[in-house]
Amino acid sequence: MKAVVGGIILTPSETIENGTILIDGGKILSIGRGVRVPEDAEVIDAKGKYVTPGLVDGHSHVGMVTDGIDWEDSDVNDYYGPVTPYMRAIDGINLYDDGFREALSGGVTTVYTGPGSSNVIGGIGMIAKTHARTPQEMVIKGFASVKMALGPKRTPDEAKPKAPYPTTRMGSVALVRGALFRARDYMDGRLDPDKLDKEEKMMMDVLSELLRGKVPAHIHTSNMPDEIFAVVRIIEEFRIRATIDHGFGSELVAEILAEKKIPVIYGPVMMARRSAGSRYVSDKAPGILSSKGVKTSIMTDHPVIPEKYLRLSAAICVRNGMDPTEALKAITLNPAESIGVGERLGSIEPGKDADLVIFSGQPLKIKSTVEKVFTDGKIAYQTQSNTND
């Protein structure tokens, strides 16, 4: 048993000063001010430090684009065709990507990672803890979502795809609807499975899980706020669960998203606003979304913003008007809930995984540093100066 003692605990919804967290068997046993520490417990002194849940990134490509060899070894976008729901992140991920190790040093203990946005339905995303090096240890969900991406598509000149890519936003939505209609026919027995080729059957099996509500879709919207309405229409037409990923311009329609309870995983912040559509990019958006009641998460989109800067991304949103508690929730509890692991991760509560970060100061200040990171109750990272403690 371990006891983290004396810290300012941000659960993140509540602040408990001089609190104690008891950890047993990789899970949080209890938390509070008056928690008695058993005599045989290993005590971790956090006096004057801040303690938060392990940070969660709701949208990244860690392990899909290996740090430092992106151009030479990018495995994030496959130009086989625009609809490839059966391609699985877990079959292409590099568990030894330094991005995972760096994530830990920034306090990020869990990431959603998966296919990129070049395909309309790109494949199956996964959720992984960042400390482990084998699929058995690190994968929380191998089939965590179906990744979709609206907006016009471009293929590199050298690619020879099996099917043409849509060049307009209408085209992308039409492909999504077409695939989901066909999957519904398949589920309802209107398609004879024996007459489908193997590839098409795999496609239907994946999309059926989405239509049954077993997994959510992560729907990438590019730069235009009108794509948000397309997402709303797809969700309502097919009654699927989905998050809006990136969501540039989503703050303009925040009321609608709040009413329909559609979560937004926003970002990355600090964007290079190179494209014409990036006029809707605003680092004020997460603050506006959360103040209007939208469940808001902040993403790094690693490698776009390196994973270790997830905390800094939330701090940038605070600088742009976001409430600090909401900003911390946007990199812990909200993404955990939005990607479907809220029962296990994202907050410091009895029964949840003991994934904790100890910061030298207020976590959303730049000059605070990550001192210790625990995953499943074990120390996973600590700064050099603490090694000899």
Partner 1 sequence: MTVSDLLKLLVVEGREIRTQSERGVIKNGKILIMEGRIAKVGRDIEVPGDAEVISSDVVTPGLIDAHTHLGIAPIESSDRDPSGADASDPVSPHLRVVDALNPLDPGMKDALKGGVTTAVVSAGSGMSWAMMVEAVTIMPGQNAVMKMNGRILNECSGVKMALGEHPLRFLRSLKMTPTTRMGIIAIIRSYLEKAQRYREMGEIPETEKERKKFEALIPLLRGDYPAHIHVHIIRDILSALKFAEEFGIKVVLVHATESHMIADELAQKGVPIVFGPIMFPRRGRELMNLTAKTPALLEEKGILFAISTDHPATPIEYLPINVGLAESEGLKDGLKTVTVNAAKIAGVWDRVGSIEPGKDADIAIFSGDPMEIDSQVTYTIIDGKVEYRRE
In the structure encoding, which two tokens stand for residue 347, read together? Answer: 């907050």
Query: Among residues 39 and 72, whose Cβ is nearest to partner 1?
Result: 72
Confirm or reject binding of residue 284 to partner 1 (CB under 8 A): no
The CA angle 35-36-37, to the nearest 5 degrees, is 115
CB of 237 to partner 1, least distance (A): 30
CB of 278 to partner 1, least distance (A): 6
Confirm or reject binding of residue 71 to partner 1 (CB under 8 A): yes
Confirm or reject binding of residue 75 to partner 1 (CB under 8 A): no
Instruction: Figure out which of the listed residues 10, 258, 318, 341 binds partner 1, where binding follows CB under 8 A.
Output: 318
Query: Among residues 297 and 313, whose Cβ is nearest to partner 1?
Result: 313
CB of 113 to partner 1, least distance (A): 15
List Cβ neighbours of 85 (8 Å cut-off, separation of 6 or more). 121, 122, 123, 124, 146, 179, 202, 203, 206, 207
CB of 304 to partner 1, least distance (A): 5
CB of 112 to partner 1, least distance (A): 18
Confirm or reject binding of residue 205 to partner 1 (CB under 8 A): no
* Contact stretch for partner 1 (CB under 8 A) within 65-73, 167-175, 185-193, 256-264: 65-73
Neighbouring CB atoms inside 10 A of 167's CB total 12
Instruction: Figure out which of the listed residues 177, 184, 292, 365 binds partner 1, where binding follows CB under 8 A.
Output: 365
Instruction: Figure out which of the listed residues 198, 367, 387, 389 binds partner 1, where binding follows CB under 8 A.
Output: 367
* Contact stretch for partner 1 (CB under 8 A) within 36-44, 67-75, 81-89, 173-181: 67-75
CB of 202 to partner 1, least distance (A): 30
Least Cα distance to 87 among 124, 135, 126 occurs for 124
Query: Among residues 25 and 156, whose Cβ is nearest to partner 1?
Result: 156
- Partners of 20 in the β-ladder: 5, 32
Spacing of C-alpha 288 from chain mean position: 20
Cis previous bond, 263, omega within 30? no
Of 131-190, binders to partner 1 (CB under 8 A) are: 156
Rounded CA gap, 286 and 326, in Å? 9
Spacing of C-alpha 40 from chain mean position: 37
Instruction: Figure out which of the listed residues 94, 155, 208, 278 binds partner 1, where binding follows CB under 8 A.
Output: 278
- Partners of 52 in the β-ladder: 357
Rounded CA gap, 220 and 267, in Å? 11
3 state SS for 20-86: EEEEECCEEEEEECCCCCCCCCEEEECCCCEEEECEEEEEECCCCECCCCCCCCECCCCCCCCECCC
The footprint of partner 1 (CB under 8 A) covers 67-72, 156, 270-276, 278-279, 303-306, 309, 312, 315-316, 318-319, 364-369
